[in-house]
Amino acid sequence: MNSTIISESNVSESPLLRLFQRKDHSGKAYISAQQFAAGEKLRSDYERAHLSARMVSAYAESAGSGGRHWQMSDNVLEKTSMGTLEARDRVYAAFAEVGPELSGILYQVCCLAAGFEMAEAALALPVRSGKAVLALALTRLARHYGIVKPQKPQSRAAIAPWALDDYRPQLRSADQGS
């Protein structure tokens, strides 16, 4: 998992981390480390982009109120704003690449940290299908981020003919008809 440090508070908050740490009946993790890394990258960009709704009031003085605006230089404000805009662009690009069919589950689970039951209900998915849909979405997201390389399609030579070994088709000329 790269060099990501996960605190105990994140374990209880992140359904993605819980899914990564849990094992299925065969002892294999529900999602791979690459899928988890892609989901965490999306979550990180979402938080940097400040796209979530504010849940508390801000009692700080506004920038034009003559308060303590001198503590933050214009360069820091510009860098913060540019960083926020760049993070928004990355989030929007990730959702566009994944597509509208799969971006909803990523938004619910990775960005909003909704549980699978809540995400399934919000997206009108069949019960207990959230894990499978999320795994598909995370794989697509990992390809977008370059964490997972796209598989090369098989060459035509790899497709075997279904005819017998000694079968040779006969070509008819145009005047013979069918």
**For position 5, what pLDDT does the model report?**
42
Say if residue 149 is exposed, middle or buried (CB neighbours under 10 Å; 0-12, 13-18, 19+). exposed
Is 42 in a helix, a strand, or coil? helix
Is 92 in a helix, a strand, or coil? helix
**For position 54, what pLDDT does the model report?**
60
Kindly state whether residue 177 falls inside one of the protein's structural domains: no
Kindly state whether residue 178 falls inside one of the protein's structural domains: no
Please determine, for residue 102, whether its predicted confidence score (pLDDT) is greater than 90. Answer: yes
Kindly state whether residue 142 falls inside one of the protein's structural domains: yes
Separation between Cα atoms, residue 119 and residue 106, nearest integer Å: 9
**pTM for this entry:** 0.68
Kindly state whether residue 88 falls inside one of the protein's structural domains: yes
Interval 4-18 mean pLDDT: 63
Which domain covers residue 102, as residue numbers?
Answer: 8-53+67-151
**Residue 78 pLDDT grade (very low, low, confident, very high; cuts 50, 70, 90):** low
Number of domains within the chain: 1
114-163 confidence digits (pLDDT tens): 988 999 999 999 998 999 999 999 999 999 999 998 777 666 656 666 67
User: In which residue are the tokens 């990355």 written?
Assistant: 90
